[in-house]
Amino acid sequence: MATRLGALKNRELENFFVPILQNCKDIVALKSIHAHVIKYALSQSNFLVTKMVDVCDKSGDLGYASLLFKRVKKPNGYLYNAMIRAYAHKEVHSLAIFFYKEMLRLKDSESENPIFPDRFTFPFVIKSCSGLLCYNLGKQVHAHFCKFGPKSNITIENALIDMCIKCDHLEDAHKVFEGMIERDAISWNSIISGHARLGQMRKARALFDLMPCRTIVSWTAMISGYTWIGSYSDALDVFRQMQIVGIEPDEISIISVLPACAQLGALEVGKWIHMYCDRNGLLRKTPICNALIEMYAKCGCIGQACQLFDQMYKRDVISWSTIIGGLANHGKAREATELFERMKQAKTEPNAITFLGLLSACAHAGFWKEGLAYFDSMSKDYHIEPEVEHYGSLVDILGRAGRLNEALDVIEKMPMKPDSKIWGSLLSSCRTHSNLDIAIIAMEHLEELEPDDTGNYVLLSNIYADLGKWDGVSRMRKLIRSKSMKKTPGSSLIDINNVVQEFVSGDDSKPFSKDIFWLLELLTFHQDTTVHRHINEIMPEDGSERLR
């Protein structure tokens, strides 16, 4: 009787502490509560210790959680689950796995109350396997789930799909997905995102079209996937479809679609996104401003890019690097270097991308001394090891300045193998400065790296022609014919009335090609008022464009 009364008293005391622990906000208050728990002889209560571990999980003090756990002589499954959950939340995945192994060891022991993993255990253990990229361990946990867990559990199965995808086992993720009795938006989004992340957009699109209820995550996965593989027009098309069905873009979808706007020159869409962000208070987000700056710079609106940069609430190294690179690409070398000085004054540490922009600016402006200084400063002042792109920029700087021997010396002393872009840059500089000897050296390497690139042979042929060496010109032309080389046709993209049009050199298959060619002939024939009169005749009276 006394034992029953004691048990009843303990349950009443535990219930008394529960709301107090639920309202506990920090570790200092928890320690005070813990003292009272010890005072009332409840330190071995798995129920209360589990609640205290949950407080540690929220506050981030896993050391105290471990101390609480060690003091319990017979921890139960709920307490083990709390420890696994806490360490998984804080991404201390190795310790989460450790507690899971301890749980399994107790299951196999001859204790009176063996502990079995349950539906609360598996999601966090699988998350830790995913975090550690331990796919084989994850497969073992999957087997445990099949043995000990429920027949089907959507949360655990979603965690398995996520683990398979992060470990690059998409086929196994599909097996789990196809075997699910019930699927939710997380299931669909995970499998679609997996295909999109690997660039398998046909499969991603097929799943996306089958998805019963699409969310912003689904749409964003498709947009980012298309952008990732360079299908920019498809990315814009999905973005427009998302708006048509009434789903408001969020920060991630906006950051995903803006590179597509930049690559296509879809300035009007980019401006609409800018206004949308302004209306919804998203311009306080630094990543969004960075993406908008890049979009404006690549669309030729460097003034608007600079204006947005000056208006930013908070700038990071990406902000500075993006605007410096944009100024460099627009030939504003002096402004780019001045901005770098402002960057140093703002105590923002430059990175490798920052120096790429600076070196590009120096190349375009012919600042070869400044370019050498920036290149040396990378490793000397900021401990940034130059990559192949930085060496390529340095070769371009020296080549444009006519310092071809120095450029060749840089290439020969590079710590990595120079690529075709570097040798091509040197060959191009040889054409500018009529240096045949170094051009032949560059061509020897390009024949090995790019044996079928017609442009290199044409460039060397032009150097021969500039020097009046017609035997060399003839030899290059025969070489091109003997290899049956075909030059890849040039192409360009333009956004007209929210429709992306692609024009390929030599392609006259578009229905309005004849109108375009006729108009171009008029424009190139002469530029007097007669031309304007002819143009007005082919334009409708309402002023709308005829060529669509």
Write down the pLDDT at residue 546.
39
8 Å CB contact between 267 and 304: no
Does residue 55 contact residue 24 with C-beta atoms inside 8 Å?
A: yes
The C-alpha torsion from 345 through 346 and 351 to 356, rounded to 10°, is: -60
Answer for the pair 291, 309: CB distance below 8 angstroms, yes or no.
no
Rounded distance, CA 19 to CA 16, Å? 7
* Angle ∠(332,334,335) on CA atoms, nearest 5: 65
Q: How far apart are CA 384 and CA 398, in angstroms?
A: 21
Say yes or no to pLDDT of 538 above 50.
Answer: no
Residues sharing a CB contact under 8 Å with residue 518, sequence separation 6 or more, in sequence order:
none
User: How high is the pLDDT of residue 148?
Assistant: 80
Does residue 294 contact residue 326 with C-beta atoms inside 8 Å? yes
Map tokens 């034992």 to a residue. 3
Which residue reads 């789930």 in tokens? Answer: 145
pLDDT, greater one: 468 or 254: 254
Among 87, 119, 118, 92, smallest CA distance to 103 is for 118
User: Cα separation of 361 and 392, whole Å?
Assistant: 13
Is residue 485 within 8 Å of 476, Cβ to Cβ?
A: no
Distance CA 295, CA 257 (A): 10
- For 227-240, letters b (16+ CB in 10 Å) and e give bbeebbbbbbbbbe
DSSP string over 417-473: ---HHHHHHHHHHHHHHT-HHHHHHHHHHHHHH-TT-HHHHHHHHHHHHHTT-HHHH
Residues in the chain: 548
Query: What is the arithmetic mean of pLDDT over 453-474?
Result: 87
Tell whether the model's pLDDT for residue 287 goes beyond 80. Answer: yes
Helix (H) or strand (E) holding 197: helix 185-197
- On whether the CB atoms of residues 149 and 156 are closer than 8 A, the answer is yes
Indicate the SS3 state at residue 107. Answer: helix
According to the model, what pLDDT value does residue 5 have?
35
List all residues 6 or more positions away from 349 whose beta carbon is below 8 Å from its beta carbon. Answer: 317, 382
Specify the pLDDT at position 13: 82
Gap between the Cα atoms of 225 and 235, Å rounded:
8
pLDDT digit string, tens, across residues 29-81? 999 999 999 988 898 999 999 999 999 999 888 999 999 999 999 899 999 99
What's the pTM?
A: 0.78
- Dump pLDDT digits (tens) for 117-175: 888 999 999 999 999 999 999 999 999 888 887 778 899 999 999 999 999 999 999 99
Are the C-beta atoms of 120 and 148 separated by less than 8 Å?
Answer: no
What is d(CA 396, CA 365) in angstroms, rounded to the nearest whole number? 11
pLDDT band for position 545 (cuts 50, 70, 90): very low
Give residue for tokens 């975090």: 131
Confidence label for 220 from pLDDT (cuts 50, 70 and 90): very high
Q: Do residues 292 and 322 make contact, with C-beta atoms less than 8 angstroms apart?
A: no
Mean pLDDT of 441-466: 88
Lowest mean pLDDT among 93-102, 334-343, 527-536: 527-536
- Looking at the chain, the whole-number percentage of residues with pLDDT higher than 90 is 65
The pLDDT, as a whole number, for residue 110 is: 56
3-state DSSP assignment of residue 494: strand
Interval 530-547 mean pLDDT: 46
Token readout for 208 is 């996306």
According to the model, what pLDDT value does residue 539 have?
A: 47
Kindly report, residue by residue over 492-532, the tens digit of the pLDDT. 666 566 566 666 665 666 666 777 777 777 776 655 444 44
Q: Position 516: which residue type? A: I
pLDDT tens for 249-276 read 999 999 999 999 999 989 999 999 999 9
Cβ–Cβ under 8 Å, residues 296 and 308: yes
Q: Which two tokens stand for residue 352?
A: 């490798």
Report the 3 state secondary structure along 33-66.
HHHHHHHCCCCCCHHHHHHHHHHHHHHCCHHHHH
DSSP 202-225: HHHHHHHHH-SS--HHHHHHHHHH
Please give the average per-residue pLDDT across 327-337, as a whole number.
94
Distance between CA atoms of 226 and 238, rounded to whole angstroms?
9
Position 348 scores a pLDDT of: 94
CA distance 475 to 457: 10
Question: Residue 190 — very low, low, confident or very high, per pLDDT cuts 50/70/90?
Answer: very high
Phi, psi (deg, nearest 5) at residue 494: -145, 140
List all residues 6 or more positions away from 186 whose beta carbon is below 8 Å from its beta carbon.
Answer: 158
* Nearest CA among 202, 145, 152, 200 for reference residue 177: 152
Phi/psi at 128 (5° precision): -70, -35
